[in-house]
Structure 1
Amino acid sequence: MRNSTVADVMTRRPLTARPAMPLKELARVLTEHGISALPVLDRDDRVVGIVSERDLLSEQAEPSPRRARWWQRRRTRQEIRRSPGGTVGHVMTEDPVTVSPRATLAEAAGRMIEHEVKHLPVVDEHGALVGMVSRGDLVRRFVRSDDEIRADVIDDVLLHVLWIDATQVEVTVTDGIVTLAGTVDLRSTAQIAERLVHRLDGVVDVVSALTYLTDDGGLEGRPPHTPQPAATPTTDRTGITT
């Protein structure tokens, strides 16, 4: 079983912008293709920024020092003057937060929340752009039907990972909540099944009603209690039983 990664949901070969692109051209590209952000590449095709509809609107809006973003405050007036007016390089967010194509969807979502962004350029180990991922891409992955989730529980978790006959465990899914019922051989198997199901895309919660035949809790670091045999009474030479 494999958890979904950014590579599974990202847009491959995304449209890109250059710092010298005029803002009018940027507006046309965003509108015609129905997208809200573009990664910005330098001459060596390295990601140097990201530009969005918000950046474009901010250029037209009345400036407000209190609402300026941290990267805007760091730039001096001289630096801004040196940037060509009316171009992507003038309004883009520099040194954007990026993500690896191998990152999990949860990791990508965490980065978006932490840095308050809606898009992440996806770069490989060499820093080359390989895709773009948006909040919408992540949300769509988690919006899955109950039937799809149930099929993953049975095929991926029970059959392929745990080798459990599907007739041993009853799986029901309602609004993303998975209920497991039935009997398995080991306590550890029941625990592993619950953990693996939790990791499936689209699962909201897991209710486990699994029972087990053998408590192998010792494998989890909690050795089961083993009763010691009772001592056999002995009689010494004086005839006193001890």
Structure 2
Amino acid sequence: MSVQKVENVMTTDVAAVNENASFHTVAELLISRGISGVPVLDDDNRVLGVVSEADLLAKEEFKERYYGDDYRPPLRARIRHSAGSEGSGYRKSLGETAGALMTSPARVTTPDAAVVTAARLMDRYGVKRLPVVDAGGRLVGIVSRRDLIKVFLRLDEEIERDVREALRGRADVSVDDAVVTLTGTYAERSQAVTAVHLAENIDGVVAVHDELSWKHDDIADLPVWGGA
């Protein structure tokens, strides 16, 4: 059974900046490449963090919020903002390099990670892309939400092959537009349930239509535990 890995869908032509890159260098790169963020690297190509449009805008946002229209808050208020919940915005408003502006540590993945694992990381941390690093933490690529969608563009023939392999020929399999239909008869109901779960976990499967039957309902025979 083929499991799609990050290395199969990631982009290797990665726009990245050194930690010493200037504010203007980062801004120009984001604009020229039409992207919203880039990995920040040390001199050994290791990923230190990510700098995004939001990180760059923090500088102007802070200035406009606290220093616009010739307004300058009292010293005590400035200290409170810099030390409190908005301290990150204050520090970034002073940043001149990618290293000072970036969000760190970066959420990363590895080339051999399953695509579904990368998708879960993006969802958990609310990010649109993940730098891909090797065992030494060095940048080798980047994977985005758009890259992950490629998994669902697999040919029906490829999906059918993987489903048949997973089920070891114990059910009839047909695939149409990545929707799998399973037919056939199993000895036990639990076997049919397992077959559906296996098919659902194949990369590229959009849905599984369960038309399986069974001879014996071993699930209904299980004892019900509990009491008053």
Residues 151/80 of structure 1: CA separation in 2 closer, same or farther (3 Å cut)? closer
Q: Percent identity?
A: 35
- In structure 1, the residue matched to 2:114 is 104
1:74 positional shift? 5.9
1:80 positional shift? 6.2
Residues 53/76 of structure 1: CA separation in 2 closer, same or farther (3 Å cut)? closer
Selected match of 2:174 from 171, 174, 179 = 171
- Greater percentage in helix: 2
Q: Is the 8 A contact 1:198 1:205 kept in 2?
A: yes
For the residues of structure 1 that align with 2:206 and 2:47, how far apart are their CA atoms?
A: 35
Does residue 194 (structure 1) correspond to residue 196 (structure 2)? The answer is yes
- In structure 2, the residue matched to 1:233 is none
- In structure 1, the residue matched to 2:44 is 44
TM-score for the superposition, normalised by structure 2? 0.71
Q: Is the 8 A contact 1:19 1:41 kept in 2?
A: yes
1:93 positional shift? 0.8
For the residues of structure 2 that align with 1:186 and 1:112, how far apart are their CA atoms?
A: 38
For the residues of structure 2 that align with 1:204 and 1:156, how far apart are their CA atoms?
A: 14
TM-score for the superposition, normalised by structure 1? 0.68
Residues 76/35 of structure 1: CA separation in 2 closer, same or farther (3 Å cut)? closer
Q: Is the 8 A contact 1:179 1:208 kept in 2?
A: yes
For the residues of structure 2 that align with 1:191 and 1:104, how far apart are their CA atoms?
A: 24
Q: Is the 8 A contact 1:99 1:108 kept in 2?
A: yes
- In structure 2, the residue matched to 1:127 is 137
Q: Partner of 2:130: helix, strand, or coil?
A: strand
Q: Is the 8 A contact 2:122 2:128 kept in 1?
A: yes
Does residue 25 (structure 1) correspond to residue 25 (structure 2)? The answer is yes
Does residue 5 (structure 1) correspond to residue 15 (structure 2)? The answer is no
Larger radius of gyration: 1
Letter in 1 for 2:33: H
RMSD: 3.5
Q: Is the 8 A contact 2:58 2:89 kept in 1?
A: no
Letter in 2 for 1:136: R
Selected match of 1:157 from 150, 160, 163 = 163
Does residue 61 (structure 1) correspond to residue 66 (structure 2)? The answer is no
Q: Partner of 2:18: helix, strand, or coil?
A: coil
1:163 positional shift? 4.1
Unaligned residue ranges in structure 1 (runs of 5+): 223-242
Higher relative contact order (CA 8 A, sep 6+): 2
- In structure 2, the residue matched to 1:34 is 34
1:86 positional shift? 3.0
For the residues of structure 2 that align with 1:177 and 1:154, how far apart are their CA atoms?
A: 10
1:48 positional shift? 0.9
For the residues of structure 1 that align with 2:187 and 2:144, how far apart are their CA atoms?
A: 43
Alignment deviations for residues 147-179 of structure 1 (CA, whole Å, 9 cap, x no partner): x2x323421221x444428xx6252436x5422
Question: May I ask how many residue pairs the two structures share in their alignment?
Answer: 205
Unaligned residue ranges in structure 2 (runs of 5+): 67-80, 223-228
- In structure 2, the residue matched to 1:180 is 182
1:202 positional shift? 3.2
**Within 5 Å, which residues of 2 pair with 1:83-98?**
85-98=95-108
Alignment deviations for residues 80-123 of structure 1 (CA, whole Å, 9 cap, x no partner): 69x7x432223111211112222222221221222222221112
- In structure 2, the residue matched to 1:227 is none
